[in-house]
């Protein structure tokens, strides 16, 4: 195998999600039409695809579309951001200037506070709001990921129980502490 283009393009989470969904649909079509021996994907590829889809389906990229990303790129063009910085902004959807400082290299030298506020307004207007993400999460819960949500709830309960046990253990050990004080025999 020979790599033709090391890095053809940078992809947003939305674009990766689309590619994985197309590949998943293609894989399912092949499995449905071909015999089991001809259409076998390596297990690690299937697992990787499944876990990536599961992760991306729980991010804000599920409520984005190509027009929103194009609009974001167009409106941010005036700030002369790098492709990687625009990609990070699209994926992370910053809401505060401090988040932009983490994304944009030498942000304090390149931009004034007003520029950062303007960028945040662009992000808020071009990309979907959190309410849309919450609606998508509710829809996922209704569409069959209730089992996963139950597993997460169970894991949180176990964590809380472990934390409570650690606190109880600390209290027990605190009561067991013995302080040896030297006896003053010369005071008699």
Report residue 44 as tokens.
């690690």
Res 1: pLDDT: 46
Tracing tokens 């950062």 back to the chain, one arrives at 116
Higher pLDDT, 5 or 36: 5
DSSP letters of 147-169?
Answer: HHHHHHHHHHHHHHHHHHHHHHH
Query: Distance between CA atoms of 73 and 63, rounded to whole angstroms?
Result: 17
- Residue 146 predicted with pLDDT over 90: no
Q: What tokens does 112 get? A: 């004034």
Q: Where, residue-wise, is CATH 1.20.1250.40 in the chain?
A: 65-130
Q: How many Cβ atoms sit within 10 Å of the Cβ of residue 46?
A: 13
pLDDT digits (tens, 9 = 90+) for 104-118: 999 999 999 999 999
- Has residue 184 got a pLDDT over 90? no
Residue 81's CB: how many other CB atoms inside 10 A? 21
The CATH number of 65-130 is 1.20.1250.40
Query: For residue 98, what are the CA distances in angstroms to 4, 103, 116?
Result: 38, 9, 9
Q: Above pLDDT 90, what percent of the chain?
A: 37
What is the model's pLDDT at position 62? Answer: 85
Kindly report, residue by residue over 10-38, the tens digit of the pLDDT. Answer: 889 999 999 899 988 888 887 777 665 56
Task: Return the structure tokens found at 3.
Answer: 């790599």
pLDDT classification of 174: cutoffs 50, 70, 90: very low
pLDDT at 8: 73
CA atoms within 13 Å, Cβ hemisphere of 133: 12
Report the C-alpha gap between 111 and 176 in whole angstroms: 59
Closest CA to 117 of 68, 82, 67, 79: 79
């Amino acid at each position: 195998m020979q790599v033709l283009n090391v890095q053809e393009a940078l992809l947003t989470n939305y674009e990766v999600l689309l590619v994985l969904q197309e590949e998943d649909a293609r894989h399912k079509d092949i499995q449905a039409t071909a015999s089991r021996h001809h259409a076998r994907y390596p297990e690690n590829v299937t697992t990787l695809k499944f876990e990536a889809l599961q992760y991306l389906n729980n991010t804000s990229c599920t409520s984005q579309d190509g027009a929103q990303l194009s609009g974001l790129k167009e409106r941010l063009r005036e700030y002369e951001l790098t492709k990687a910085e625009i990609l990070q902004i699209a994926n992370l959807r910053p809401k505060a200037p401090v988040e932009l400082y983490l994304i944009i290299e030498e942000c304090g030298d390149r931009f004034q506070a007003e520029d950062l506020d303007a960028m945040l307004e662009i992000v808020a207007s071009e990309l979907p709001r959190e309410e849309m993400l919450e609606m998508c999460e509710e829809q996922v819960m209704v569409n069959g990921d209730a089992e996963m949500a139950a597993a997460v709830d169970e894991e949180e309960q176990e964590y809380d129980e472990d934390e409570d046990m650690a606190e109880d253990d600390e209290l027990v050990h605190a009561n067991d502490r013995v302080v040896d004080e030297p006896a003053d025999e010369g005071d008699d």
